[in-house]
Amino acid sequence: MTEIIGIFTGLWSIIKGLAVTLYNALRRPRITVMYPRERPEHLSPRTRGLFILRRDPETGKLRCTACGLCEKACPSRVITIEPEGSGKERHPKRYTMDLGHCLFCHLCVEACPFEALAMTPEFEIAGYDRSTNILEFERLIEAERPAGYTQKELLALPTEEAGEKAPQPVAAPAGGAAEPPAEDKRDD
Amino acid sequence: MPETAVRELGEQVVLNFGPQHPAAHGVLRLIVTLHGEIIDDLKPDIGYLHRGFEKFGEARTYAQFLPYADRLDYVSSITCGHAFVEAVERLAQIEVPERAQFIRVILAELQRIASHFIFLATFANDLAATTVFLYGFRERELLVDLFEDYCGQRLTYHAFRIGGVPYDLPAGFARKTREVLKTLRVRLDENDRLLTGNRIFRARTEGVGVISARDAIAWGCSGPTLRGSGVDMDVRRAAPYSVYDRLDFDVAVERSCDVLGRYLVRVEEMRQSMRIVEQALDLLPAGPLMAKMPRALRPAPGEARGRVESSRGDMSVYLISEGGEMPCRLRIHAPSFGNLQALPIMSRGQKIGDLVAIIGSIDLVLGDVDR
Amino acid sequence: MAASLSLYKPAHEWWGHRGWSELVFQGLWALLLAVIIVIFMIGVAVVVIWYERKIAGDIQSRIGPARVGGRFGVLQTLADGLKLFFKEDIIPNACERWLFVIAPFFIFVPAVMAWVAIPFSPTWIAYDLDIGVFYIVAISSLPQLGLIMAGWSSNNKYALLGGMRAVAQLISYEIPLVLAVLVVVMYANSLSMVTIVEKQASGWFILHPTLFIAFVIFFICALAETNKVPFDLPEAESELVSGYHVEYSGMRFAFFFLSEYASLFFLCAMATTLFLGGWRGPLLPPVVWFLGKTGVLVTLVIWIRWTVPRLRIDQITRFGWKFLLPLALLDLIVAAFLAVGMS
């Protein structure tokens, strides 16, 4: 007898499952994005895509001084810099990134003290050849590209406040939650 | 196409399962000795995904290794990074600010939910409930979008830094997360109706792949594989790290010791993780995000261990420093390795049709096993 | 189509006027019908495959094929078929060559042969066999031979396992299927498919309780016969990597694939004829009713396929022998009493 009841409860469980599937079949919108016709619209500003070397908006010169901090910070030895000049005139003669090894981990951007390097939301960087992985700095400073965000700009984006039930701190640190002192984040 | 071994030992047949196999969860090779449909013995052959992390770690500084830690257990990358970061912070005696700890917990628990969705998806796919596979990934997309808002990546996040977290939660994150969790609760209930209560699913998972609590402990299982056998062991309770001792949650334990038990443990863990995230969002204090760190981290000579509850179990990173910028020895204890060790015990006497369900229930990630 | 009064008679007369051989005419006519059936079968398989992918996409919250052939991807199956056509024909070195080559035909040809007895409409039937049901049931046993041939001749352990499982499953579910059909035959008092449809003038057979159970049994056995989830272990992708047809590639694989979907449609067509009143229905032309009802059943099969997990082989056989068979026998006995009582 229990077997017979078992058959009916089993059948009922399958019917419940069918109802779930039916409900989902009628659910809109569908989750397919017809790439490349439709592209993801809102990428987070923190998206770690292709790199860009920034210019100083006033002088128009590259901010990069070829100090080599990004080169040292990189875990995968992606960046190679050949500096030229000295003092205030120091700039990179060659700035090469081998994206074939890049982890897109953001350590180089965080290491740069001059806000010269940024990551943009550009993710369509595939190529047909390994040679397209090696980027010289002409490629990295192309004009009509999304500007991306340097580390300082990222930290300046609006952030979340403390939670509703957070206990009120007795001595609140100066500056509150949003902007910790800039010097503390270097940990290469 | 899978190769086949040609030897036949009397009535026994030796079957080669993998390394290329749709149900092998990565590059796992099993040498299965069968007679008829019954499995007599099972020998895992691993190493196909060995990438030399431990050796590599000796050649990189602590901060430089951190992005690589994500790639160990790539399905649950935040917890791997968490283990490493805990180890370094213990080694160098860095005190992480509170807000950073809460953010870490939020991200780690969201990662646990996302990882368990992958478990759900792949496990159901192995049992031919292909629709649940797609539902699992559809649900995971919601979580992965949250991660993208936070750190810009969708799989290997590099979301922590040594000493804290790099960014604050973006504006609107708490509201978005709560909405996502609300949706996910509904979807988990749907999944219960579709899969958990399904008679056929129960028939495939009840009483299959049984391992007693004693055997599970003896063979080094941890995480949901262990808790599915009735052992109440969770690193977040046993050796609390970060701010878990301040959060209220239950540890999911099932006594049935079979595949169904492990599955139910993981589903319940998802719900508990949602609880934790909501509590953490409520309790999120104001404060700095990073501890004061030197430019180049040179911890004093010594040893330290960072131990976290990864989605797969007890993950530890053990570091030995000799005062330099790079660790002298980096040892990773990965949970899937121990869980895989228990596979022969679970499978002996089972039918080969059950093997796939058992492998799925252990939730292997070969990146974890082979490092 | 023949027995169709529209084309057969004039063609026959035209032929007779010429004084040509009657035998040759019959032979050519049969050949014409065979060609039509094969084309129809392949066409049906193409449409059903596309339909399945679209429904699967809906259930899984995604769009199915949507690129090839306009916004609805209608030419997708054709493109896939074309791709299979151009693939290299790989025959494993150590296999039983002749069995390997012949196996797909053992599965494809009976599927074609069975279509002879299905009535699409009062006048559209290839040949109105008096023993239509018996003929179909007999033909449906042949593919099992093809499966075991494919599994054995591939010289692959996975294929062999798959083939043996397939045959075990098919044998287990053949008997309840036949018993369910027998219930219908008892009610209709005839083995002819056309008569069965005509006997449903007073109401579709499915509305009678014993026949409803027979329909359920038939449906479950149809799922098992066509290797659909929850009975798709013989070709379980995640366990046996396609089971008995793992070593087939290119056009040979296409034969297996097409046959599977064509036989799915065929079994649904048979269920429609036996239980749902075949082509009966008001207003619309009979063919539309027939195809529509079959389409509903095919949709049901697809819906179940994408919802439910797979059963293990011992569970499948246990279910078939220990549950379905006794149920079918019981149903038969009760139906026998009722049928005798009714007449």
Strand partners, B314: B309
* C-beta atoms surrounding C109 within 10 Å: 17
Q: Which residue range is the domain that position C288 belongs to?
A: 91-342
Chain C environment of B127 (Cβ under 8 Å): 238, 309-310
- CA of C212 vs chain B CAs: smallest distance (Å): 22
Tell me if C311 and B356 make a contact (CB, 8 A cut-off).
Answer: no
The one-letter amino acid code at C113 reads M
Positive or negative torsion for Cα C191, C197, C198, C203: positive
Give the fold, CATH level 3, of A53-154: Alpha-Beta Plaits (3.30.70)
pLDDT surpassing 90 at residue C5: no
Distance CA C287, CA B320 (A): 79
A→C interface, C-beta within 8 Å: 7, 14, 17-18, 20-22, 24-27, 30-32, 34
List the end-to-end C-alpha distance of chain B, in Å, as a whole number.
Answer: 26
What secondary structure does DSSP assign to C1-21, as a single string? -TT-TTTHHHHHHHHHHHT--
Of B168, B283, B295, the CB nearest to A166: B283
pLDDT surpassing 90 at residue C117: no
Cα→Cα distances A29→A17, A24, B186, C114, Å: 21, 10, 17, 42
Residue from B111, B102, B56, B52 nearest B79 by CA = B111
Q: Return mean pLDDT, chain C.
A: 83
Rg (CA), chain B: 21
Q: Which residue range is the domain that position B299 belongs to?
A: 53-370
Tell me if C308 and B138 make a contact (CB, 8 A cut-off).
Answer: no
Phi, psi for residue C60 in degrees, rounded to 5:
-95, 20
Closest-CA residue of B relative to C306 is: B131
| B204 found inside a domain | yes
Distance CA C193, CA C129 (A): 8
pLDDT surpassing 90 at residue A181: no
| C68 found inside a domain | no
Domain containing B144 — which CATH number?
A: 1.10.645.10
Which tens digit of pLDDT belongs to each residue from B144-155? 999 988 888 888
Tell me if B4 and C156 make a contact (CB, 8 A cut-off).
Answer: yes
3 state SS for chain B: CCCCCCCEECCEEEEEECCCCCCCCCCCEEEEEEECCEEEEEEEECCCCCCCHHHHHCCCCHHHHHHHHCCCCHHHHHHHHHHHHHHHHHHCCCCCCHHHHHHHHHHHHHHHHHHHHHHHHHHHHHCCCHHHHHHHHHHHHHHHHHHHHHHCCCCCCCCCECCECCCCCECCHHHHHHHHHHHHHHHHHHHHHHHHCCHHHHHHHCCCCCCCHHHHHHCCCCCHHHHCCCCCCCHHHHCCCCCHHHCCCCCCCCCCCCHHHHHHHHHHHHHHHHHHHHHHHHHCCCCCCECCCCCCCCCCCEEEEEEEEECCEEEEEEEEECCCCCCCEEEEECHHHHHHHCHHHHHCCCEHHHHHHHHHHHCCCHHHHHC
Positive or negative torsion for Cα B42, B45, B48, B53: positive
Check: CB of residue A28 under 8 Å from CB of residue A57. Answer: no
CB neighbours of B16 closer than 8 A, spacing ≥ 6? B2, B3, B4, B5, B29, B30, B31, B32
Positive or negative torsion for Cα C324, C330, C332, C335: negative
Distance CA B299, CA B321 (A): 7
Strand partners, B14: B33
What's the structural domain count of chain C? 1
The ipTM, to two decimals, is: 0.83
pLDDT surpassing 80 at residue A178: no
C189 touches B at CB < 8 Å? no
Chain B environment of C168 (Cβ under 8 Å): none
Residue C83 token pair: 């791709």
Distance CA B63, CA B66 (A): 5
Q: Give the H or E element holding residue C177.
A: helix C157-188
Q: Which residue in the block uniquely carries the two structure tokens 């939660």?
A: B169
Residue B167 token pair: 């960014």
Of A11, A75, A154, the CB nearest to B60: A75
b/e per residue C224-240 (b: at least 16 CB within 10 A): bbbbbbbbbbbbbbbbb
| C251 found inside a domain | yes
| C5 found inside a domain | no
Q: Residue B26's pLDDT is what? A: 80
- CA of B139 vs chain C CAs: smallest distance (Å): 11
Q: Residue A145's pLDDT is what? A: 67
Give the residue with greater pLDDT, A15 vs C10. Answer: A15
- CA of C270 vs chain B CAs: smallest distance (Å): 27
Distance CA A118, CA A153 (A): 9
Distance CA A143, CA A157 (A): 23
pLDDT surpassing 90 at residue C315: no
Determine whether C143 is exposed, middle or buried from the number of CB atoms within 10 Å of its CB (0-12, 13-18, 19+): buried
User: For residue A173, what pLDDT band results from cuts at 50, 70 and 90?
Assistant: very low
Look at A127-136, B87-96, B116-125 and tell me which has the smallest mean pLDDT. A127-136
Check: CB of residue B346 under 8 Å from CB of residue B210. Answer: yes
pLDDT surpassing 80 at residue A148: no
Q: Residue C225's pLDDT is what? A: 86
Chain A environment of C62 (Cβ under 8 Å): 30-32
Give the residue with greater pLDDT, C245 vs C54. Answer: C54
Determine whether B350 is exposed, middle or buried from the number of CB atoms within 10 Å of its CB (0-12, 13-18, 19+): buried
Look at A91-105, B96-110, B238-252, C143-157 and tell me which has the smallest mean pLDDT. C143-157
| C34 found inside a domain | no
Q: Residue C3's pLDDT is what? A: 47
B 123-162 near C (Cβ less than 8 A): 124-131, 134-135, 138
Of A7, A14, A26, the CB nearest to C308: A14
Q: Residue A1's pLDDT is what? A: 64
Q: Residue C143's pLDDT is what? A: 85
Chain B environment of C59 (Cβ under 8 Å): 131
Q: Angle of helix B98-126 relative to helix B352-362, nearest 10 degrees?
A: 170
| B35 found inside a domain | no
Pairing mode of beta strands A134-135, B12-17: unpaired
Rounded to an integer, the average pLDDT of C36-63 is 89
Which tens digit of pLDDT belongs to each residue from B291-334? 888 888 888 899 999 999 999 999 999 999 998 889 999 999 99
Tell me if A44 and B200 make a contact (CB, 8 A cut-off).
Answer: no
Rounded to an integer, the average pLDDT of C72-99 is 83
Tell me if A187 and B163 make a contact (CB, 8 A cut-off).
Answer: yes
Look at A71-85, B129-143, C57-71 and tell me which has the smallest mean pLDDT. C57-71
Positive or negative torsion for Cα B7, B13, B16, B21: positive
| B21 found inside a domain | no
- CA of B40 vs chain A CAs: smallest distance (Å): 32
pLDDT surpassing 80 at residue C250: no
Q: Angle of helix C286-305 relative to helix C22-59, nearest 10 degrees?
A: 40
Of B131, B135, B351, the CB nearest to C312: B351
Cα→Cα distances A4→B23, B193, C21, C327, Å: 34, 22, 63, 11
Strand partners, B164: B161, B290
Look at A23-32, A153-162, C148-157 and tell me which has the smallest mean pLDDT. A153-162
List the end-to-end C-alpha distance of chain C, in Å, as a whole number.
Answer: 35
Which tens digit of pLDDT belongs to each residue from B10-60? 577 787 887 766 655 788 888 988 887 788 898 999 888 899 999 999 999
Distance CA B41, CA C118 (A): 51
Of A24, A31, A34, the CB nearest to C59: A24
User: For residue A166, what pLDDT band results from cuts at 50, 70 and 90?
Assistant: low
Distance CA A64, CA C220 (A): 71
Distance CA B243, CA B98 (A): 8
Chain A environment of B170 (Cβ under 8 Å): 44, 46, 157-160
Tell me if C307 and A17 make a contact (CB, 8 A cut-off).
Answer: yes
* Chain B interface test: which of C60, C232, C319 (most B C-beta within 10 Å): C60
User: For residue B262, what pLDDT band results from cuts at 50, 70 and 90?
Assistant: very high
Q: What 3-state DSSP class applies to A15? A: helix
Ramachandran bin of A59, using left for φ above 0, alpha for ψ from -120 to 50, beta for the remaining angles: alpha
| B146 found inside a domain | yes
Cα→Cα distances A7→A11, A14, B202, B231, C176, Å: 6, 11, 13, 33, 17
